[in-house]
Amino acid sequence: MSVLLPLDEIAESGIVTDTDFKYYNRDKTAYITTGAGGFTVTGTFTASGFASGFTVQASTNLANGDAVYISSTTAAGVPIVSVADADASGKLAVFVVTDATILSGAQGSAALSGLSAATLNTVAGSVGAPVYLTTTGTTTNTWTLTAPTANDAAVQIIGRVNVSSATVGQIAYNLFGQTVVRYGSNQLQPGAIHLSPVLTGTGDGANLTVTMSHATQSAEGLDVSNAQITNVRTSGSLIGVKSTVTSLTGSTAGTDHVCYDAIVVAGEATADHIALRVGAGTNFAIDTRACASGEGRWIMVDGAANALTIEDALGQDFLKIATTSDAMTFGNATTNPAYTFLGIGTMTTGPLSVGGEMSSPMTAAQVVAGSGTITLPTTGINKAVSSASAVTGIILTAGTVAGQMIYLMNVNAADAITFDATPATSRVALASASIVAGTGRFFSWNATTSLWYPNTV
């Protein structure tokens, strides 16, 4: 590599035009013409011992022409350099290696500018075309004639084409000022973007506008990623986007303080318009555990025939709420989903109207002998019982919740089932109550007296 001398090594310069300058070497055998279109090198600039170079130490094997960045320094203050990479944080090019090779751990020379060997394939670029730092981060592959396009990659011009050729191409490297056309997202350090605008009227503290002109590709207006890179976490949270809105004392009712406001402009009614999409692997779609009592509420639009609908991917309803009639509709007549209330908690309703069939599960009949115990239904309220003959002294298992109801059916067509004459033993308030063959009887549990009360026959 022929190294361009710094300005104090150049003997004379002359103005070619108002915007172009010509810089000569001492013996005027070579010169550089610079201008708005770049620069042109005529002749060869050389410097014995790389007068404009720097001593560096390689962190890995390096080759002539490698663009490098300073990754550390030795105890003596010698820069330790590594291969530059346009899409890695803090790895933009600072020097170009001028030695033929520098082995890992060895010291050699690098420069801010210089001419490469005339052995490159630069035919894809015309003379003066920009040469960019690559995103490969590997030795012998640090320059490209195509600017990186990825959002996370910087666009850094590290030189220009001096000779355009497939076999004897040459690059004039120039890292004075480190020309960076665009910084990539990977070059942003934590806290690098900090906005503190003061608004005195309607406006945006920050505004990002994106347009999409493709018919099938996906696009994000804002893509935020927060990835855990430690193996073990014991506390704390990883948050992709956090929004905080603060209200002041005196704000009147109806004044909205909104952390996230989703508005979809519906241009096509048949398209899906989604305010929040929750992806796979999400354990909790909405977490309100930090809310105090009375907070974390859902507010629906008033006077809407369909204020809230929960449906499957095929559009089959599971729940629909109408605020016009203050009504809730469960299920649909196509898939007929089942609804199960688990546990022994109570459900309180006002007047209950059943428009269709009402049923309770039924299991095989329990066969009881004299002085035997009838167990409670495991599901529903119905319990079938039978016996080999007429039996007496029967006991009924204690109820589990106050007001519990069961319906016992004697499926024996010939013989009655009679409870013990002592209520404390039978747990049935009516002494010697019986269930006649082929009939049934309701029983209600009184938790205060610990007795079942049968309906009258």
DSSP letters along 267-305, please? S-TTS---S----TT-S-SS--TTPPTT-S-----TT-T
- The residues, ordered by sequence, that sit 6+ positions from 194 with a Cβ below 8 Å of its Cβ are none
Please give the structure tokens belonging to residue 211: 């347009």
At which residue do the structure tokens 């309701």 appear? 442
Q: Which strands sit side by side in the sheet containing 327-330, from one edge to the other?
A: 308-311, 317-322, 327-330
Helices (H), 364-446: 423-426
Query: How high is the mean pLDDT in each 10-residue block of the chain (457 residues)?
Result: 40 43 57 62 49 81 94 93 92 91 94 89 94 94 94 91 94 83 77 74 80 83 79 82 86 84 82 86 89 89 91 90 90 87 78 82 92 93 95 96 94 95 96 95 97 91
Q: Is there a contact between 27 and 41 (Cβ–Cβ < 8 Å)? A: no
* pLDDT for 201: 80
| Angle at the Cα of 375 from the Cα atoms of 450 and 380, rounded to 5 degrees | 90
* pLDDT for 133: 96
* pLDDT for 32: 65
**Of 400, 401, 396, residue with least CA distance to 442:** 396
* pLDDT for 275: 85
